[in-house]
Amino acid sequence: MKILMTGDEAIARGAYEAGVAFASAYPGTPSTEILENVSTYKEIVSEWAPNEKVALEAAAGASIGGARSLACMKHVGVNVAADPLFTFSYTGVRGGMVLISADEPGMHSSQNEQDNRWYAVSAKLPMLEPSDSQECIDMLRTAYDVSEEFDTPVLMRITTRIAHSKSIVSLSDRKNVPIKEYVKEVQKYVAVPAIASKRRRVVETRMGDLKDYSEKTPLNRIEQGGKIGVIASGMCYNYAKEVFGDSATYLKLGFSHPLPDNLLHEFYKLVDTVYIIEENDPYLQQWVERLGYKCVGKPTIPPYGEMTPDVLRKALGQQELNVVTYDDSLVVPRPPVLCAGCPHRGFFYELAKKKDTVIAGDIGCYSLGFAEPFNGMDYIVCMGAAFSSGHGTQQALVAAGKDTRVVGVMGDSTFFHMGINGLIEVLYNNSKTICVVLDNRTTGMTGHQEHPGTGHDIRREPTHEINIEATVKALGAKNVAVVDPNNIKEVRNALNDAYSKDEPYVIITRWPCVLKPMNEADYVEFGKDLFKNKYHVNEEACIGCKACIRAGCPANSMDAVKNKMVIDKLACVGCSVCSQICPKSAIVISEVDR
Amino acid sequence: MTKNILLVGVGGQGTILAAKILTLGLMEAGYDVKMSEIHGMSQRGGAVSSHVRYGEKVYSPVIEKGSADVLVSFEQMEALRWLEYMRPGSKAVVNSQVIKPTPVIIGKAEYSDKILDEICSKVDATVLDAQAEALAVGNSRVLNILLVGAAAKIMKLDGINWSDIIAKNVKSAFVDVNQKAFARGQELVTAV
């Protein structure tokens, strides 16, 4: 049967077909949908982990326990998981284990553009790079065989355009892979220096064996054409095909660490000029040049961004396609915004009014608080850094004799990811950093995944719920305020109370994301009428002062002719924040529209 | 020869389902098909695009500037934003709906009333009120399938059982209204 699948769906399918029994991940664009799709196969134990390190550790443990296992994460997640990754490389596997790294050339939804192919080099792992969805399935099956044959975790590196592009695939049946008998093997799995130093030598031998494999595997192949040569892996192979056509000779590298030196020598005998098409770093280029060959690569090929065919044509000085020209001054940027009814709006509206304040942000929908109209963020470091980085800034400001306050802001999923460590830092070192958890009862930005605080697992089945307020208090926080972020007076009072104290203070806002799939508990806690109200503007009372517009709600705008605010009643979900801001009480609930 | 259909709009308008229906139809017709979209941060009311490419053998899933055979825009300013992706001489279908971006809402920029004029002076565009047309067949939300119908007509994608594909991919209560919307979209444009 032929069907269309994204790369993420295909990797999930590949895991199913390869007989994977355990899979774990933390959501992160563009990798999120892999585990969401894995969880649709009942044969695979599928779990959200609180963070990528835990996901990888759980997958490593499942492998040691004899099961084929999978861990998936976005590129920056591998930084979080790097510690177990490097050690697991030494111990090797029992059941096959694959780590998917979803990189983001072009940074569509990421804070950096790191090239995770280097992790294969530094952690000494075999690496595969599929070019389309069919290869995602086929290569994952191969990856598990490689993992078990060579006793190593395997890195599969994809990019956004692999993860989120659809292409046609053919499906196969699931391979029956029994979970291997557990055997205690201290000399292999206990990573103490005496044992690990012996394993270090094993790893070196393994890399030699994998190099031989790389020379022979059909995943690395020469497609013979003319005298122009192109070397590429992953999605760049497809981009190159568009630009150089079928007349060039290609060295397609599906197994891209260790790299096949002999195959490269053979390739260079066939061609005159060689182009290396790769996104991000000159990984392949450095290999080619180390072996003494000349090539056209970076910096002719740009070192950042996606190497789509139009980018390549321009970089290579080829004829670019004709385009329609138009008056682009008429086009206004359309940045992402907090949705109508977003529970972060009321909080940021109040926080942004605070003077002499540094706001340490974090990764999530609330990152958008940095932008107009709030301008409510001074910096974002990485996932879970709001409290810890905020703490450092607060300590520096105190040391400098300043009264400036620091407010760290992060979401609920981020709190469980790494943020809780930052709160421990604040409490243990007793700084007056104000720590805010914006609990919207879901992992919002990546598309509403459950997490340890929601009480539901990846399949939305009820599970143990870790309560943030109880957790914070158990850590010893004395000042804890739980507020409804749609009640701006409540938010203001909590912030004022926090500013009045020179000790750790935790504010938890608690209201669900308007887009999340609601469950019974949500309706019990937040009411049956959740998001069912509509507001409208009483035009006689509205004085056109635009105060409400400063809440930045996409449902609200000014009618320029009447100079009155107007609410899009299709978009309004009745959060009431704008009505609380209005100095003339002109924004009122519309009973008729309910 | 690979053909390119570019669907653009604002997060939440239904471009993803529209692209899905298109790609399934094209696969059924025997084409090699690739589709690419960017989601994540941009879906929060930001500009979104779905690239659909089909032919005998498709490599890149991404449409290059200057190569879209049809531009289907769910919002008027988005059509202008993506105009340079059109192959000169190709057609555009533009929903005249206005969705104000944040800079306009907060008064830092203006939403020009000359956008449709600019589009029509530069390319062969069919401008329609897709929301009103969709409402006329039963539900303003089906404007996405209405626009798919228009794109399929322009690209002469006949001989594909679109009704069947719609029936299999939308909730049963909405099959009929989506099929009507598709047919209405076909009526509103002429083929290339």
Q: What is the pLDDT of residues B67-82, one digit of tens each?
A: 999 999 999 999 999 9
Q: Average pLDDT over chain B, rounded to whole?
A: 93
Which residues are CB-neighbours of A212 under 8 A, at least 6 positions away?
A: none
Task: Measure in Å the smallest separation between the Cα of B136 and chain A Cα atoms.
Answer: 17
Q: Across the interface, do B33 and A337 touch by the CB < 8 Å criterion? A: no
- A contact test, residue of B60, B84, B113, B169 with most A CBs within 10 A: B60
Residue spans of beta strands (DSSP E) within A54-164: 69-74, 97-103, 127-128, 154-159
Nearest CB neighbour to B86, from listed A324, A339, A371: A324
Q: Parse chain B into domains and list their residue ranges.
A: 3-188
DSSP labels, A217-278 = -TTEEEE--SSEEEEE-HHHHHHHHHHHGGGSEEEEESEEES--HHHHHHHHHH-SEEEEE-
User: Distance between CA B124 and CA B112 in Å, rounded?
Assistant: 20
Q: Which pLDDT does position B40 carry in this prediction?
A: 56
Nearest CB neighbour to A373, from listed B39, B85, B106: B106
pTM summary value: 0.96
User: Distance between CA A286 and CA A9 in Å, rounded?
Assistant: 33
Q: Which pLDDT does position A415 carry in this prediction?
A: 98
Number of Cβ within a 10 Å radius of residue A496: 11
User: Distance between CA A323 and CA A134 in Å, rounded?
Assistant: 33
Q: B-contacting residues of A 154-193, CB under 8 Å?
A: 160-161, 164-168
Q: Please tell me if residue A2 touches chain B, with a CB cutoff of 8 Å.
A: yes
Task: Measure in Å the smallest separation between the Cα of A167 and chain B Cα atoms.
Answer: 5
Spatial contact of A376 and A566, defined as CB atoms under 8 Å apart: no
Task: Measure in Å the smallest separation between the Cα of A23 and chain B Cα atoms.
Answer: 22
Q: Across the interface, do B11 and A335 touch by the CB < 8 Å criterion? A: no
Q: Please tell me if residue B59 touches chain A, with a CB cutoff of 8 Å.
A: yes
Q: Across the interface, do B104 and A557 touch by the CB < 8 Å criterion? A: yes
- B contact test, residue of A164, A306, A324, A567 with most B CBs within 10 A: A324
User: Distance between CA A340 and CA A349 in Å, rounded?
Assistant: 14
Q: Across the interface, do B100 and A557 touch by the CB < 8 Å criterion? A: yes
Q: Which pLDDT does position B43 carry in this prediction?
A: 61
Which residues are CB-neighbours of B83 under 8 A, at least 6 positions away?
A: A324, A326, B71, B92, B119, B122, B123
Class of domain B3-188: alpha beta
DSSP secondary structure letter of residue A462: B
- A contact test, residue of B37, B49, B64 with most A CBs within 10 A: B64
DSSP labels, A61-82 = HHHHTT--EEEEEEHHHHHHTH
Q: Please tell me if residue A527 touches chain B, with a CB cutoff of 8 Å.
A: no
Q: Please tell me if residue B108 touches chain A, with a CB cutoff of 8 Å.
A: yes
DSSP labels, A164-210 = TEEEEEE--PPP--PPPPP---HHHH---HHHHHHHHHHHHHHHHHH
Task: Measure in Å the smallest separation between the Cα of A102 and chain B Cα atoms.
Answer: 13
pLDDT band at B41 (very low <50, low <70, confident <90, very high): low
Q: Please tell me if residue B48 touches chain A, with a CB cutoff of 8 Å.
A: no
Phi-psi sector, A473: left (phi>0), alpha (psi -120 to 50), beta: alpha
Residues of A in contact with B91 (CB under 8 A): none
Q: Please tell me if residue A90 touches chain B, with a CB cutoff of 8 Å.
A: no
Q: Across the interface, do A549 and B32 touch by the CB < 8 Å criterion? A: no
Structure tokens at A489: 């007076």
- B contact test, residue of A330, A338, A548 with most B CBs within 10 A: A330
Residues of A in contact with B44 (CB under 8 A): 336-339, 365, 368, 445
Q: Across the interface, do B61 and A161 touch by the CB < 8 Å criterion? A: yes
Spatial contact of B123 and B90, defined as CB atoms under 8 Å apart: yes
Q: Please tell me if residue B36 touches chain A, with a CB cutoff of 8 Å.
A: yes
Task: Measure in Å the smallest separation between the Cα of A496 and chain B Cα atoms.
Answer: 27
Q: Which pLDDT does position A66 carry in this prediction?
A: 98
Phi-psi sector, A326: left (phi>0), alpha (psi -120 to 50), beta: beta
- B contact test, residue of A322, A332, A558, A567 with most B CBs within 10 A: A332
Spatial contact of A260 and B79, defined as CB atoms under 8 Å apart: no
Phi/psi for B4 (5° steps) reads -130, 125
Region B31-49 average pLDDT = 81
User: Distance between CA A407 and CA A401 in Å, rounded?
Assistant: 18
Q: Which pLDDT does position B42 carry in this prediction?
A: 55
CB pairs under 8 A between A and B: 181
Q: Across the interface, do A333 and B103 touch by the CB < 8 Å criterion? A: yes
User: Distance between CA B19 and CA A543 in Å, rounded?
Assistant: 44
Q: Which pLDDT does position A450 carry in this prediction?
A: 98
Structure tokens at A569: 């009643």
Q: Please tell me if residue A330 touches chain B, with a CB cutoff of 8 Å.
A: yes
Q: Which pLDDT does position A1 carry in this prediction?
A: 77
Q: Across the interface, do B40 and A242 touch by the CB < 8 Å criterion? A: no
Residue spans of beta strands (DSSP E) within A413-517: 434-439, 480-483, 505-510
User: Taking CA atoms, what residue in B is nearest to A546?
Assistant: B106
Phi-psi sector, A110: left (phi>0), alpha (psi -120 to 50), beta: beta
Task: Measure in Å the smallest separation between the Cα of B84 and chain A Cα atoms.
Answer: 5
Region B187-191 average pLDDT = 86
- B contact test, residue of A5, A103, A158, A167 with most B CBs within 10 A: A167
Q: Please tell me if residue A322 touches chain B, with a CB cutoff of 8 Å.
A: yes
Spatial contact of B84 and A325, defined as CB atoms under 8 Å apart: yes
Domains and CATH numbers, chain A: 2-216 (3.40.50.970), 220-315 (3.40.50.920), 344-524 (3.40.50.970), 535-593 (3.30.70.20)
Residues of A in contact with B61 (CB under 8 A): 161, 165-167, 238
Place of tokens 């001489």: B89
User: Distance between CA A343 and CA A355 in Å, rounded?
Assistant: 22
User: Distance between CA A390 and CA A381 in Å, rounded?
Assistant: 10
Task: Measure in Å the smallest separation between the Cα of B140 and chain A Cα atoms.
Answer: 11
User: Taking CA atoms, what residue in B is nearest to A565?
Assistant: B105
Q: Which pLDDT does position B39 carry in this prediction?
A: 66
What is chain A's pLDDT, residue by residue, as a tens digit (594 residues)?
Answer: 789 999 999 999 999 999 999 999 999 999 999 999 999 999 999 999 999 999 999 999 999 999 999 999 999 999 999 999 999 999 999 999 999 999 999 998 899 999 999 999 999 999 999 999 999 999 999 999 999 999 999 999 999 999 999 999 999 999 999 999 999 999 999 999 999 999 999 999 999 999 999 999 999 999 999 999 999 999 999 999 999 999 999 999 999 999 999 999 999 999 999 999 999 999 999 999 999 999 999 999 999 999 999 999 999 999 889 999 999 999 999 988 899 999 999 999 999 999 999 999 999 999 999 998 999 999 999 999 999 999 999 999 999 999 999 999 999 999 999 999 999 999 999 999 999 999 999 999 999 999 999 999 999 999 999 999 999 999 999 999 999 999 999 999 999 999 999 999 999 999 999 999 999 999 999 999 899 999 999 999 999 999 999 999 999 999 989 999 999 988 999 999 999 999 999 999 987 555
Q: Please tell me if residue B83 touches chain A, with a CB cutoff of 8 Å.
A: yes
Q: What is the pLDDT of residues B98-127, one digit of tens each?
A: 999 989 988 889 999 999 999 999 999 999
Residues of A in contact with B67 (CB under 8 A): 321
Q: Please tell me if residue B156 touches chain A, with a CB cutoff of 8 Å.
A: no
User: Distance between CA A162 and CA A139 in Å, rounded?
Assistant: 13
Q: What is the pLDDT of residues B12-27, one digit of tens each?
A: 888 989 999 999 999 9
Structure tokens at B8: 């653009």
- Indicate the residue type of A402: K
pLDDT band at B192 (very low <50, low <70, confident <90, very high): low
Phi/psi for A546 (5° steps) reads 70, 10
DSSP labels, B107-165 = TSS---TTHHHHHHHHSEEEEE-HHHHHHHHT-GGGHHHHHHHHHHHHTT--SS-HHHH
Structure tokens at B50: 């779905």
DSSP helix/strand/coil, B185: helix
Q: Across the interface, do A29 and B123 touch by the CB < 8 Å criterion? A: no
Q: B-contacting residues of A 362-421, CB under 8 Å?
A: 365, 368, 371-373
pLDDT band at B129 (very low <50, low <70, confident <90, very high): very high
Q: Across the interface, do B41 and A108 touch by the CB < 8 Å criterion? A: yes
Structure tokens at A509: 């806002």
Q: Across the interface, do A332 and B104 touch by the CB < 8 Å criterion? A: yes
